[in-house]
Amino acid sequence: QKREISNFDYLMYLNTLAGRSYNDYMQYPVFPWVLADYHSEILDLTNPHTFRDLSKPMGAQTVERKRKFIQRFSEVEKSEGDLPVQCHYCTHYSSAIIVASYLVRMEPFTHTFCSLQGGSFDVADRMFHSVKSTWESASRDNMSDVRELTPEFFYLPEFLTNANHFELGCMQDGTVLGDVQLPPWADGDPHKFILLHRKALESDYVSAHLHRWIDLIFGHKQHGSAAVEAVNTYHPYFYGDKVDLNNIKDPLIKSTILGFISNFGQIPKQV
């Protein structure tokens, strides 16, 4: 509020408080999608419609998508043994594979991604290749995709280029995967994309609404009745405080839960 710290620095501080770290892909710092405009020739940061609705999670960015997730919540079994499992999302907004897929064009993330994929790159059409199509998938089109972003989207143009000339494959429409496709307003320049994207993060609109996203990820709308109302509940295995692994005696169940968390991600500690 006093403009003594940037939104970027504040989000990094919150991530650190919540136990997120660059040293753990499963609990990597999580940053929000801040824009909804990936099609205009010029980015207008004075227009509210340019921005994503920061008061809603990625699963509720459109009315239709929100309705489907609320319906799923009401249809899911109430409990699994002693554990209530009713939730809106069975996937997560940040996981090791999401982080590695975003940063796959740079080592050591290339190696990590291939390790998580069983030793090779994924099918080309599923690889991160376009900012616009990734936004459309996470905000509208794909019911199993609610991913947010990583800090690199706001400071590191290198992750958007295939400088190492990795053979990432060829999409069904014949497009050979190379550099990440950028929105028209970036003019094909990764440095311009990062500059404008960071400007968007630090804009007056985001500064005025960022606390609403923080409530969802780090604050009081993270779980409980406030999360249900905000369409922001995840599978209970994602919440570290809901599963006490020390009390689980069955090694098979324990390894299943650990595998689930390592594959799908973990909710930050509530700040």
pLDDT of residue 84: 62
Selection from 98, 67, 52, 46 nearest residue 264 by Cα: 98
CB of 152 closer than 8 Å to CB of 161:
no
Mean pLDDT in residue range 157-166: 96
Residue of 268, 202, 230 lying closest to 58 (CA atoms): 230
Q: What is the mean pLDDT of the chain?
A: 92
Helix axis angle for 204-217 and 7-17, nearest 10°, is 10
Residue that is written with structure tokens 């770290």 in the block:
21
Q: Are 257 and 243 in contact (CB under 8 A)?
A: yes
Q: Does 45 score more than 90 pLDDT?
A: yes
Letter string b/e over residues 239-249, b meaning 16 or more CB atoms within 10 A of that residue's CB: bbeebeeeeee
At 222, the pLDDT band (50, 70, 90 cuts) reads very high
pLDDT band at 247 (very low <50, low <70, confident <90, very high): confident
DSSP letter for 155, please: T
Give the Cα separation of 45 and 99 in Å (integer). 27
Query: Has residue 270 got a pLDDT over 70?
Result: yes
Task: Write out the DSSP string of 93-124.
Answer: SS-HHHHHHHTTTSTTHHHHHHHHTTSSPPPG
Of the listed ranges 19-33, 45-59, 69-83, the one predicted with least confidence: 69-83
CA distance 267 to 223: 10
Contacts 24+ apart (CB under 8 A), 10-13: 10/210, 11/151, 11/210, 11/214, 12/151
Q: What is the pLDDT of residue 101?
A: 96
- Residue 210, pLDDT score: 97
pLDDT of residue 86: 84
Residue type, 94: S
Closest C-alpha among 98, 17, 137, 112 to residue 265: 98
> Which domains are delineated in the chain?
7-262 (1.10.1540.10)
pLDDT tens digits, one per residue of 101-152: 999 999 999 999 999 888 889 888 899 999 999 999 999 999 999 999 999 9
| 102, two tokens | 């975003």
Per-residue confidence band for 79, with pLDDT thresholds at 50, 70 and 90: low
- pLDDT (0 to 100) of residue 243: 66
User: Would the pLDDT of 230 be above 60?
Assistant: yes
Q: Is 133 helix (H, G, I), strand (E, B) or coil?
A: helix
Q: Give pLDDT tens digits for 165-218.
A: 999 999 998 889 999 999 999 999 999 999 999 999 999 999 999 999 999 999
Q: What pLDDT, on the 0 to 100 scale, is given for residue 255?
A: 80
